[in-house]
Structure 1
Amino acid sequence: MQDPIKAGLAAGWKHIDASLLARDLSVEADVVIVGSGAGGGVTADILSDAGLHVVLVEEGPLRSSSDFRMREAAAYPELYQESASRKTADKAINILQGRCVGGSTTVNWTSSFRTPPEVFDYWQRQFGLRQLSVESMSSWFAVMEHKLRVRAWDTPPNANNKVLAAGAEKLGIPIGAIKRNVKGCWNLGYCGMGCPTNAKQSMLLTTIPAALQRGASLITRLRAERLRFAGSRVTALDGVALQADGLHPSGRRVHLRARHFVIAGGAIGSPALLLRSGVPDPQRLLGKRTFLHPVLISSALMPERVDAYAGAPQSIYTDHFLHQAPIDGPLGFKLETPPLHPVLYATTLQGFGETHVKLMREFTNVNVLLALLRDGFHPESRGGQVRLGSDGLPVLDYPLGDVIWEAARRALLAMAEIQFAAGARWVTPVHETAPGYSSWAEARTGIAELPLKPLLCRVVSAHVMGGCGMADTPQRGVVDHRGRHFWLGNLSVHDGSVFPTSLGANPQLSIYGLVARNASLLAAELSGRPLPAIL
């Protein structure tokens, strides 16, 4: 099978691996884009199509299907932030984020949802974002769904997802099928390690090659250190070249100048870069209201083999528990089913010694459900804050308060009931003191009594949002509805950091749609060409 990235490089795509630089480098462009994930990739595609000279800066390496061998030991250090072990400051939440060309789109599980209507309504009421609605965004979502092949997944769900479907059906809980951004998918189930068959329509396979084909440049293993600005305009970006390990500076530096700068480093990386740069922030909003979908986990042993590593990783969901209360009431949650691979399962599973070994021995019979808590709407649910550590790198503080734990208990109960309804013979909430339960009655009593606090109850997340929130005025936001910084005229933020809350849905399609809109507005302004007819 041909590797399209290697073929493109052989044909003359402009790629600089900063770890190989023998001397400092200066670069000029129309637009410099920091980050090559969902936001950076879409922006590069649209701006290059408008005839603008674009330079993409990525801290991680360029890897492609030839490198994706479906091996966790290789994939996590190569493709994820902190080898897939990034954590909040108190170590209570493990965060999975991509760190490679394509960002998290290269390693995500392909789940694609539009922004829920109630979220747009809330943003309009609370943040004055009247320009963003289901109606105004539907065409942008449709454009990106077409470009990235977002379709209903018609293949029957694997045994892992069937547990959610069967248990929910027995309890009268409505379910839905998850749309996926894939083309010719082989149904392998190793999406989280990079797609070896080039089926996943990530930025690595779609928008970034399109931009490179038009003459855009890509610089990898380059850490965006600091924006330079004078008055109300950014003048340059200082970058630090990293060694081949992708971690330690090589001593070489790259100086980038442009007419416009787009920050798309994700909802931890983007606020961190702006904080390091000391950009104007008179309301002290930068890095604050950073939201995760805090995820609770329930593990079940089924009577038959599940082989949760095989097949489309996520294909069934239910939003039933998102709609039990008003959006600003007790936290709702979305239920999904993740893939399981030995390292990911073993490092998430609670316990140690013989207890841990016993559960691992039955790995092939394990089903796991996830509950994604929708944070950021309840008055007491204010999320976390990105700050800088002593080395200038980002740290996320994310206190887990009573509002979170109340929802966590409801989520653990809901998942256990569904798993027992589907025929589970043993259910274990991923919690350090949960003994495991052999019946729903036993689980209902036991989970109600579990002590819920950080490090005792396992919480994970793969979705980070906020920190550079949108609003109608600089008194309550960092950027406006277009992603334009309120105080620096030639600075935009194009990623999930602009969301004022979490979404209650996997965020990639929300980022694609919003960034397609905002990058198109920016392209028209910078190129002098008319806006697309879609506007």
Structure 2
Amino acid sequence: MAIQDPIVEGLAKGWNHIDASQVSTPLTLEADVVIVGSGAGGGVAAEIMAEAGLSVIIVEGGPLKSSESFNMEERRAYPNLYQQAASMKTKDKAIGIFQGRAVGGSTTVNWTTSIRTPDNALAFWAKEKSVKGLSTESLAPWFAKMEQRLNISKWEFEPNRNNMALKQGCEALGWDHTVIKRNVAGCWNTGYCGMGCPVNAKQSMLVTTIPAALERGATLVSRAKVAKIEYHQDKIFGLKAQALSETLTPTGVELLFKAKHYILSAGAIHTPALMMRSKLPDPYGIIGKRTFLHPTVLSGALFNDAINGHSGAPQSIYSDQFVWQNGAAGDLGYKLEVPPVHPILIASKTLGYGQSHADLMAQFNQLQVTIALVRDGYHPDSQGGQVELTEHGFTLDYPLSNAFWEAARRAFASMAELQFAAGAEKVLPISEGMSMLSSWPQAKKAIAEMNLAPLKTIVASAHVMGGCPMGEDPKMSMVNSEGRSHYFENLSVMDGSLFPTSLGANPQLSIYGITARNATLLAEELKSKS
């Protein structure tokens, strides 16, 4: 059965796409709106601006890849679709970070989990972070709009065995659990979402809003890294960019983008890094600070029956039993989910070397993995990380605090208890020095005494947030609650860097809904001036 590739078909009929790796002389492009980044924020903003009749340019640092080149192989997907070939780490190498780098951003490679911004997060932002107008009630229509646009709906199929273990453990223990809503249409249930959907079922920006914007005349420029924001007083007057080669190294060709309004949607880390490189006004030292990761710990479990965690919807069940248990500003809570179990992904996030590692991987199909995403940014001892510029780019310094390690220990215990309740034969907390545990009483004791430490304990992240927070008080925010810069009349930010804390939920739907609101308000204003 031939799979239609909307990108290939659109380009064939004349969509405006410039692959900057093929540009040999300096180029200047102008539009009403220039958007930096094509992920959840940039993609939604692009469609809304184009629908309003505004001319739009989308600038993406990564390549334009589509289902034609998605072959479900990790060795191809990671270098083609992820920042630093999926090997990006924090400054001290203690946290691995998965972040997309291609047209569609992380929406092209995420696992489709779609959750509205939790009420507790919105209430905390309003009370503590000077955010206005973003209540559960006011955002509801925007979430509903994006859920309809991206076919976000409850996953009606039976969970795969990996997710079923999470469900069964929760049921046995009487814990909260929820069926996940996913942004898919005609999903084949293959389980390879993290490598780009080969059948275009995932309703990422790559196959929804970006094509819609291009259909309305927008221009997409891929493999172009915006290096500097040019400004004078309170107006941005241009973006300088570098053309990148097919291997994403600078070619020496410069690009200049000029617009009436500029939207930064390069994502947490890259939006703040661009602002810092450009030396934008930052009188209160906010840019790049309070960057949050939902730092995540992992627990493996061996079952007698085949788990085959590589097959089927990667995430279809989650548990919020422990996310808000101690209140927003209390001890750090954590969300329980499962990841897909693919060979390279798991091999790089498990324990041991040589024979011990080989023995574990030999039981690959019996391995169930549960993860705990720690909700950072609320507790006084959870201030997140800081983006720093380096000679060759950027780094993220994210110290793991005592509050995090206390939460991690509780999370390891919760995951082990859950996995044994679901019928696991053995449980392995993924931290060096731990061995297979054969019962919940044994695990409870071992986890209480285990030595947790950076580089010893595996910590990962797929949710980068913060670094350019929104709010009405300039002393604690860079942009207002509509994403408009406090310092420049024609600059907005529309991506996950806006969040004043982490969410305690997977971020893509929060970015979709908040961007839909803010982009619509901006489009109306720009349209009235044109």
Assess if the C-alpha contact under 8 Å between 2:132 and 2:471 holds in 1: no
CA deviation string 1:154-181 (max 9, x = no partner): 0000000011111111111121100000
SS at match of 2:71: coil
Tell me the matched-pair count: 528
Structure-to-structure mapping, 1:126-525, within 5 angstroms? 126-246=128-248, 248-391=249-392, 393-525=393-525
Q: Could you say which residue in structure 1 is the equivalent of 2:82?
A: 80
Which amino acid letter does the alignment assign opposite residue 467 of structure 1? G
How far, CA to CA, are the matches of 1:113 and 1:141 in structure 2?
A: 9
Which amino acid letter does the alignment assign opposite residue 38 of structure 1? A
Which amino acid letter does the alignment assign opposite residue 158 of structure 1? N
How far, CA to CA, are the matches of 2:11 and 2:325 in structure 1?
A: 51
SS at match of 1:380: coil
Q: Could you say which residue in structure 2 is the equivalent of 1:18?
A: 20
How far, CA to CA, are the matches of 1:190 and 1:383 in structure 2?
A: 30
SS at match of 1:91: coil
Q: Could you say which residue in structure 1 is the equivalent of 2:527?
A: 527
Displacement of 1:387 in angstroms is 1.1
Which amino acid letter does the alignment assign opposite residue 464 of structure 2? V
Computed over aligned residues only, the root mean square deviation of the Cα atoms, in angstroms, reads 0.9
SS at match of 2:225: strand
Assess if the C-alpha contact under 8 Å between 2:177 and 2:320 holds in 1: yes
Q: Could you say which residue in structure 2 is the equivalent of 1:55?
A: 57
Provide the TM-score with structure 2 as the length reference.
Answer: 0.99
How far, CA to CA, are the matches of 1:13 and 1:324 in structure 2?
A: 50
Q: Could you say which residue in structure 2 is the equivalent of 1:112?
A: 114
Displacement of 1:435 in angstroms is 1.3
How far, CA to CA, are the matches of 1:517 and 1:182 in structure 2?
A: 22
How far, CA to CA, are the matches of 2:324 and 2:223 in structure 1?
A: 43
Which amino acid letter does the alignment assign opposite residue 107 of structure 1? V
Assess if the C-alpha contact under 8 Å between 2:20 and 2:222 holds in 1: yes
Which amino acid letter does the alignment assign opposite residue 474 of structure 2? P
* Percent identity (aligned): 54
Where does the alignment leave 5 or more consecutive residues of structure 2 unmatched?
none
**Are 1:67 and 2:31 an aligned pair?**
no
Of 29, 35, 38, 2:37 maps to 35
How far, CA to CA, are the matches of 1:350 and 1:229 in structure 2?
A: 49
CA deviation string 1:240-264 (max 9, x = no partner): 0011101x11111101111111000
How far, CA to CA, are the matches of 1:330 and 1:154 in structure 2?
A: 34
CA deviation string 1:477-517 (max 9, x = no partner): 01100101100110100000000000000000000000000
SS at match of 2:269: helix
Which amino acid letter does the alignment assign opposite residue 510 of structure 2? S
How far, CA to CA, are the matches of 2:224 and 2:488 in structure 1?
A: 24
Where does the alignment leave 5 or more consecutive residues of structure 1 unmatched?
531-535
Assess if the C-alpha contact under 8 Å between 1:174 and 1:320 holds in 2: yes
Assess if the C-alpha contact under 8 Å between 2:183 and 2:203 holds in 1: yes
Which amino acid letter does the alignment assign opposite residue 67 of structure 1? S
SS at match of 1:394: strand
SS at match of 1:512: helix
SS at match of 2:348: helix
CA deviation string 1:115-144 (max 9, x = no partner): 000111100100121311000100000000
How far, CA to CA, are the matches of 2:441 and 2:28 in structure 1?
A: 66
How far, CA to CA, are the matches of 1:50 and 1:422 in structure 2?
A: 51
Provide the TM-score with structure 1 as the length reference.
Answer: 0.98
How far, CA to CA, are the matches of 2:401 and 2:57 in structure 1?
A: 42
SS at match of 1:192: helix
SS at match of 2:58: strand
Assess if the C-alpha contact under 8 Å between 2:292 and 2:464 holds in 1: yes
How far, CA to CA, are the matches of 2:195 and 2:325 in structure 1?
A: 35
How far, CA to CA, are the matches of 2:492 and 2:132 in structure 1?
A: 19
How far, CA to CA, are the matches of 1:426 and 1:481 in structure 2?
A: 48
Displacement of 1:529 in angstroms is 8.3
Which structure 1 residue ranges, 4+ long, deviate > 2 Å from structure 2?
A: none
SS at match of 2:34: strand
Displacement of 1:323 in angstroms is 2.9
Assess if the C-alpha contact under 8 Å between 1:50 and 1:529 holds in 2: no
CA deviation string 1:208-241 (max 9, x = no partner): 0000000000000000100000110000000000
Assess if the C-alpha contact under 8 Å between 2:223 and 2:243 holds in 1: yes
Which amino acid letter does the alignment assign opposite residue 376 of structure 1? G
How far, CA to CA, are the matches of 1:130 and 1:359 in structure 2?
A: 50
Assess if the C-alpha contact under 8 Å between 2:90 and 2:397 holds in 1: yes
How far, CA to CA, are the matches of 1:282 and 1:358 in structure 2?
A: 55
Displacement of 1:394 in angstroms is 1.9
